[in-house]
Each structure stands twice: as C-alpha cells, then as structure tokens.
C-alpha cells in the first residue's frame, strides 16, 4: 500500500519521553510501563540441559587454565519448547503484544535467564570479609530509569555495611536519542552526576555529537572516565587508563585489589561515515585485545591486583574472543542491546541490556584473608531497576530535561493509518516492528511521489533494524510527530536506489531474520510479506504486494553501505563482487528530508482542499484519480491565508493555516514543518508565496493529483464509525462497517 497522510482515527496526544513513562491526554507513546522484548542468552547451557537450577554463590574451578565458573545466585533456568506460532505470515504476536517478523528466535521463547521481579537484597559483611559490589548499566538512551537506579544504588550501599559499592555505565549514553540531538547530552551528564555515577567508559555513539562538546562532558564528569584503548583522545587529561579499587574488611585483616580495564570496539565499519578528521576528533582506537593484555600485565604485576574485570563495549562475538584468549573470571560488557549471561571457556559474560531497565549486580567476596586471590565467591544477577521507587528529586529533574522537546512533540506530521497501529519500534533488531514497516512504507511513497512518476517506480524499501532507534511503544490513534521522526531516524541517514534481483532480495532479507538479534535485522515496507518455509526458515513471498519474481530486477531503496557491511552475507557477497551496481554518493537521498518534503506536499494539498470548502467553491476532490475545480480564485485563496493582507503568505501564516483550517497540532516555537509546506507552495522559488504561486496551483493542481495520485490507501472514518468498530472489537464481535453492509 501507498501511504498518503490522511484519514486515521481521531488524534490524541500525550506528553511522552524518549521511552515513555508519563502519559496524559496528549498523545505519543504510552505512559504505562513498557514491557521489553527479552533477548537470547546462555546458549551453551540450554543446549546441554532441559531444566536445571543454578546454586547460590557456587564457584567451580577449571583445572585447565585456573579460571572458575561463576553461577547465578538463587534462580532457576528452564529450557522449554515454545508453543506453535500464530497463523499468518510475518505478524506473529509474542506474549507481550509486540509484532514479530518471521525468523530468528521463535515467538514466546523467553530468555534462558530471567530475573524479572527479583529485588536485590544486600546484606552486611562479616568482620573478616572483603566484598566489592558492582552495579552496571549500559547503552542508555533515556533518562527514564535513572531515578530508580539511584534508589537501588542507595539501598545497596545502606544495607551492605562493610562492603565497597561502585556503579558504572559501560558506553553509549550521549547518542543516539532525541534529547541528545537537542541538548547535546547535557541532560544525560547532569543525571549521571546526580546519581552520582562512579565510572564511565566509551561507547561508539559518543562520537556522534560535536567533539568539543564531548570533551567538555569528559572534563565536567564528577566520577572517573576510564579509557584503555584510545589514549590520544583530546580529553585524555581528564581520563584514566585503568583503575584499581581497594577493598578492605571491617577489621582490617583482609585487603584486596580489583583492577578495571575499559576497551571500546575498533571496528572500522562503526566509524566509516565520519568526515575528517574522523570519529572522536581523529583519536586512534587501538586493538582492544592488545590493550587488555597490556593492562592486565600492569595490574597484576605492578599494581598487585587480586582480580581484574574488563569493561567492554563490544558485540558478543568479540566478547567471546576475550573469554577464549584471557583468564578473566568475569566480563561486564555492552554494545548489544539485549541481556546476556553466559559462560564461555570458564569466563562469565554479563550484559544487562539497554536503557537501565535492568542493572547487573555483581558481588566479589573474599570471606577471609586466607582465601586465595583467585578464589573469591562471585554471585551475580540482573535486577529490574523500576522495582525500586524512583528518587523524587532526580525524577523531577529528569522530567524537566525533556521540556526541550515540547516544540517537537507538539508538531504533527501525519496521522497513522490503522494498519500500523499500535506503532512500536521495540524489538527492531529481532523482529519486523510496526514503526519500521511504517517508516519504510512512508519512504517508498515519498520516493515515488517525489519523482512525479507512476506508482511503484520504487518497488521496495529496506532498512536495518538498527536504524529504527526509538525503542518505544506508542498509543493507538495518535499522530506521527516531528519528535517521533527525530527519535526514530537520525537526521543524517541517507539512502540510495539499487537494482536487486528477486532471489537476492529474498535471500538477503531471510539471512538477517534467521538467527539471533542483530543490528542488521531487516525492516521492510508493507508491500513485502514473509512466511516460514518447509525448512523452517523465513522466505519472502511478496514484493510490492505481488508474488515475488525471483528473476525480476527490483528497484530497492536502502542504505547503500548496509549492502556490504556483512550483516546480510548474500548481499555482501553479491554487491562486493558488483560494486558498479551501487549508486554514487551524490545520488543518495536524506531520509528525514525526503519524508518532510512528502508530508509538506500532502499538507499543501489538504490546505488547498480546505480552502475550497472554506470558500464554498464548486470543486471535486473526492475522486480517486483526479482533482477538478470549476471555480478556483487565486485571489480569494491568497486572502484566506494572508492574515496581515500584505499580499505574501509567510511561514508563520502557513503554520496558522495548518492549525485553523486542518486542525493540526503546531507549536509556535517549531516552524520546521510549516517551512517545508511554504517551500512547496513557492512554485517559482523566490522565497515568497504570492498570488502568482496560487494562480499556478489553480492551473496545475489537477495535473499534480494525476501525477502523484494523492489518495489514501485508508479513507478517513467518521468518529461514530470508529466507535462502532472499537466497541465490536472489545466484545469480540466481527463488525462490518456501514459502507461494507451496503
């Protein structure tokens, strides 16, 4: 289907945040607590046993290399077969109501380790015990959960007399999320200092905002910023290469040292889009494993550490390499957005997932001075942060930080067709989410309309799940706002048009849907359908709403670098061998700009129709194929929008027209959308919308309708009809609309 933004149910708007917590009557994401997709972990253990229980504080030594297996404290892990998936192609619904694409982990399958509902209960240390407690969060793109995390931290410290308690965030906190695009990370850094956070480490996304601003954040951070493999960073004077934490028993008889090493991924693909001098102001990111080896030796031989914990911002396969090549007992990591708790060759790997929804709580304890350095007890668990009451002061401060988004939140771009409701961008790295499909469908419509040619000049739009970045659930019957667009798609994301054989399209999409959650999990427009084949693997069955022709060459819009970044092996192999098929960078199109232009075209058409009604002209604009107006008076139309009568329609007057004639939500502090509409109405491009522009549209509007076929795939329903359908759905009754009955 092609989307033309009109005719969704009545609009509601709510006050919302980067990941919704606060709701009122004003639309956006749900104010209720959001349930999250649970991701895959602990694969080795699940393959070996069906149902088992991990013992509390058990330590098992691996005789081969001196490492010890660490087991989770007091909770069960069960492997259960998932129930059969619901009927349908690619709209399977999992147990928390999210829309799933086919492929990957089966719907309903839980994480192998879950700790939802478990509240951390700290305990006093014995007089001779040396104990360190580490609370870790990672990949945080919202301020939503920090007030809860603060309470968890304070209660742990209050109830752990004799223990050393530290907290840390292991990378990705300054970007990419909407608030940071406005305040450049100021709200985040203020929240981290208010906790207060003890340790920060780098993530790749800290390179996304202005380098000088990042350096200021480093120097103003009140905790310690650790950095072991980017030593020529411009703000290295305010960072540490490693840390030594001293832990002492209450009676002074048992003293231990724990070392921290912090490494960031040096994968060139993460940074290839940066202009000179490059990411992080041109700093050199050295090999993580060389840095680990270097500082491990220093911490053990020079600092006399009893135990070393790597703090990593690496993907799971790279974490596994650390597990295999070193004898660290435990690794705290980030970068992947799902929770991971597994043991690889004797090393425990812990990732608490994104947004501080969960925190890793890791205890390291030497009960007495007689316990060898390499044999502490090391229990760990994931604790849900919002099981703890929010600190009211920090919660209020974090709420105020989001006031910077009010103008964006109040700017309506489009109504959301019912087919895509409820919109959700959660799970975009493990399923085809409704927001991903909606944006791809919008972009396909925009690309076709922008070229003024017949529909389906572009056959399909494909975007990696990592590019749909809002991680939010939206309420039904809300509008798509400028805030939502900014939250979901980075402002600098660009796409190109590539030829793609049908077999390659199918194989490439299926390859990203056939395994674990990955950033490259492909989102697609509503014209593409998938189903599970006889071999249990996902298969693309339709493109552009028609059965796929594996020999046909389709015109596909996607991010060109994603075709060779390895996320989809079939695409990487094909386009690496045929680079001549890839468009030049000069032909790329900015996603946000393309969509904003499309919304502007639609809104100008709606304004034109509204003016016809306002002036009681005899016009036909209900026909699906054409627009006909016997009476089109450009002077009257100009006068209706030209509020001050000076003969020129300004951007401010255009914005007022959107509000008065269309009932659109606008904010006087945010003129972006009105500027796009104004630019489209300015036919001659002189920067002013005058009588000549209106006269041109009186002549050309019929051609514009025929060329772009503006009509909706989803005609607007009356309020009474919407209520009738909603009531029938609530009663579980299949209800036909009045028009269908006739």
Can you say how many angstroms the Cα of residue 254 is from the centroid of all Cα atoms in its chain? 45
Q: In angstroms, what CA-CA distances link 50 with 78, 113, 492, 583?
A: 6, 13, 47, 50
* pLDDT greater than 80 at residue 558: yes
Query: Are residues 315 and 265 in contact, defined by beta-carbon separation less than 8 angstroms?
Result: yes
Q: Which residue is listed with tokens 């975007």?
A: 463
* pLDDT greater than 90 at residue 416: no
- Per DSSP, the three-state class of 676 is helix
**pLDDT on residue 604:** 82
CATH superfamily of 597-708: EF-hand (1.10.238.10)
Query: Are residues 362 and 152 in contact, defined by beta-carbon separation less than 8 angstroms?
Result: no
Alpha-carbon span 23 to 242, nearest angstrom:
43
**pLDDT on residue 7:** 31
**pLDDT on residue 337:** 82
Alpha-carbon span 614 to 25, nearest angstrom:
30
* Among the ranges given (153-157, 405-409, 735-739), the one the predictor scored with the smallest mean pLDDT: 735-739
Region 234-242 average pLDDT:
98
Region 42-53 average pLDDT:
34
Query: Are residues 239 and 232 in contact, defined by beta-carbon separation less than 8 angstroms?
Result: no
List, as one string, the DSSP characters of 115-157: -TTPPP---PPPTT-EEEEEEEE-----STTHHHHHHHHHHHH
Between 288 and 634, the higher pLDDT residue: 288
Between 666 and 263, the higher pLDDT residue: 263
**pLDDT on residue 407:** 63
What is the per-residue pLDDT across 96-110, written as a single tens digit (0 to 9) for each?
222 222 222 222 222
| Confidence label for 527 from pLDDT (cuts 50, 70 and 90) | very high
Q: What does residue 244 show for φ and ψ, rounded to 5 degrees?
A: -120, 120
**pLDDT on residue 50:** 36
* pLDDT greater than 70 at residue 350: yes
- Strand ranges, E, within 493-597: 494-501, 522-524, 529-532, 538-543, 546-547, 553-558, 589-590
Structure tokens at 264: 């960031």
Q: Where in the chain is the domain with CATH 3.60.21.10?
A: 125-401
* pLDDT greater than 50 at residue 563: yes
* Among the ranges given (553-557, 578-582, 605-609), the one the predictor scored with the smallest mean pLDDT: 605-609
Alpha-carbon span 469 to 426, nearest angstrom:
8
* pLDDT greater than 50 at residue 246: yes
Alpha-carbon span 1 to 529, nearest angstrom:
12
Between 272 and 140, the higher pLDDT residue: 140
What value does the mean pLDDT of the chain take? 77
Alpha-carbon span 529 to 536, nearest angstrom:
16
CATH 3.60.21.10 fits 125-401, yes or no: yes
What is the per-residue pLDDT across 252-274, written as a single tens digit (0 to 9) for each?
999 999 999 999 999 987 887 78
Alpha-carbon span 592 to 399, nearest angstrom:
27
Alpha-carbon span 183 to 30, nearest angstrom:
24
| Confidence label for 208 from pLDDT (cuts 50, 70 and 90) | confident
* pLDDT greater than 50 at residue 475: yes
Can you say how many angstroms the Cα of residue 443 is from the centroid of all Cα atoms in its chain? 18
What is the per-residue pLDDT across 307-333, written as a single tens digit (0 to 9) for each?
999 999 999 999 999 999 999 999 999
Q: In angstroms, what CA-CA distances link 537 with 83, 106, 506, 512?
A: 17, 11, 11, 11
| Confidence label for 704 from pLDDT (cuts 50, 70 and 90) | low
Alpha-carbon span 257 to 364, nearest angstrom:
11
Q: Where in the chain is the domain with CATH 1.10.238.10?
A: 597-708
Alpha-carbon span 483 to 465, nearest angstrom:
19
pTM over 0.95: no
Query: Are residues 386 and 648 in contact, defined by beta-carbon separation less than 8 angstroms?
Result: no
Can you say how many angstroms the Cα of residue 268 is from the centroid of all Cα atoms in its chain? 21
Between 409 and 210, the higher pLDDT residue: 210
């Amino acid at each position: 289907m092609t989307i033309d933004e009109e005719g969704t149910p009545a609009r509601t708007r709510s006050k919302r945040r980067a990941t919704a917590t606060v709701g009122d009557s004003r639309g956006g994401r749900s104010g209720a607590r959001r349930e999250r997709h649970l991701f895959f972990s602990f694969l080795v253990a699940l393959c070996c046993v069906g149902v088992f229980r991990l013992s509390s504080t058990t330590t098992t030594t691996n005789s081969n290399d001196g490492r010890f297996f660490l087991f989770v404290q007091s909770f069960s892990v069960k492997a259960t077969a998932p129930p059969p998936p619901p009927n349908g192609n690619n709209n399977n619904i999992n147990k928390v109501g999210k829309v799933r694409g086919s492929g990957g982990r089966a719907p309903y399958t839980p994480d192998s380790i879950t700790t939802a509902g478990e509240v951390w209960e700290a305990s006093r240390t014995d007089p001779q015990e040396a104990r360190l407690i580490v609370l870790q969060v990672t990949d945080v793109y919202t301020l939503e959960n920090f007030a809860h995390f603060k309470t968890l931290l304070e209660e742990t410290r209050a109830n752990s007399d004799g223990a050393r308690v530290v907290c840390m965030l292991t990378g990705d906190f300054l970007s990419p999320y909407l608030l940071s695009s406005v305040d450049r990370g100021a709200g985040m850094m203020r929240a981290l200092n208010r906790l207060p956070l003890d340790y920060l480490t780098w993530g790749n996304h800290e390179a996304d905002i202005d380098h000088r601003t990042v350096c200021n954040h480093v120097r103003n951070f009140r905790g310690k910023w650790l950095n072991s493999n980017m030593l020529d960073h411009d703000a290295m004077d305010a960072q540490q290469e490693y840390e030594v934490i001293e832990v002492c028993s209450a009676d002074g008889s048992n003293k231990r040292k724990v070392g921290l090493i912090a490494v960031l991924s040096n994968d060139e693909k993460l940074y290839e889009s940066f202009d000179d001098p490059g990411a992080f102001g041109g700093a050199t990111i050295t090999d993580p494993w060389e840095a680990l080896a270097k500082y491990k030796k220093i911490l053990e031989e020079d600092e006399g550490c009893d135990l070393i914990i790597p703090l990593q911002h690496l993907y799971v396969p790279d974490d596994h390499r650390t597990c295999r090549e070193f004898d660290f007992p435990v690794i705290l990591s980030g970068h992947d957005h799902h929770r991971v708790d597994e043991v690889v060759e004797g090393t425990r790997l812990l990732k608490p997932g994104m947004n501080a929804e969960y925190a890793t709580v890791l205890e390291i304890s030497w009960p007495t001075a007689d316990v060898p350095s390499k044999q502490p007890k090391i229990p760990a668990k994931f604790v849900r942060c919002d099981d703890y009451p929010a600190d009211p002061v920090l919660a209020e401060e974090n709420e105020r930080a989001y006031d910077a988004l009010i103008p964006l939140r109040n700017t309506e771009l489009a109504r959301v067709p019912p087919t895509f409701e409820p919109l959700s961008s959660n799970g975009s790295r493990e399923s085809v989410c409704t927001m991903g499909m909606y944006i791809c469908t919008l972009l396909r419509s925009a690309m076709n309309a922008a070229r003024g040619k017949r529909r389906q000049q572009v056959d399909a739009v494909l975007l990696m799940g990592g590019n749909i970045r809002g991680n939010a659930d939206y309420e039904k019957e809300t509008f798509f706002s400028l805030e939502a667009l900014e939250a979901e798609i980075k402002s600098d994301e660009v796409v190109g048009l590539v030829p793609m054989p049908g077999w390659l399209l199918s194989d490439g999409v299926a390859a990203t849907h056939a395994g674990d959650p990955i950033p490259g999990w492909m989102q697609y427009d509503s014209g593409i359908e998938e189903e599970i084949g006889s071999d249990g693997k996902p298969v693309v069955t339709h493109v552009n709403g028609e059965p796929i022709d594996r020999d046909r060459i389709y015109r596909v819009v996607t991010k060109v670098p994603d075709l060779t970044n390895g996320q989809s092996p079939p695409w990487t192999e094909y386009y690496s061998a045929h680079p001549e098929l890839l468009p030049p960078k000069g032909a790329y199109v900015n996603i946000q700009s393309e969509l904003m232009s499309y919304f502007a075209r639609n809104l100008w058409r709606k304004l034109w129709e509204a003016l016809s009604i306002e002036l009681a002209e005899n016009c036909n604009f209900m026909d699906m194929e054409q627009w006909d107006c016997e009476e089109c008076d450009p002077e009257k139309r100009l006068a209706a929008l030209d509020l001050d009568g000076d003969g020129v329609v300004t951007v401010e007057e255009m914005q007022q027209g959107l509000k008065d004639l269309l009932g659109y939500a606008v904010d006087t502090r945010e003129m972006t959308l009105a500027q796009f509409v104004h630019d489209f109405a300015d036919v001659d491009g002189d920067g002013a919308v005058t009588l000549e522009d209106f006269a041109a549209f009186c002549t050309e509007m019929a051609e514009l309708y025929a060329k772009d076929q503006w009509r909706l795939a989803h005609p607007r329903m009356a309020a009474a009809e919407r209520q009738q359908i909603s009531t029938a759905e609530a009663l579980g009754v299949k209800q036909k609309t009045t028009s269908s009955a006739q």
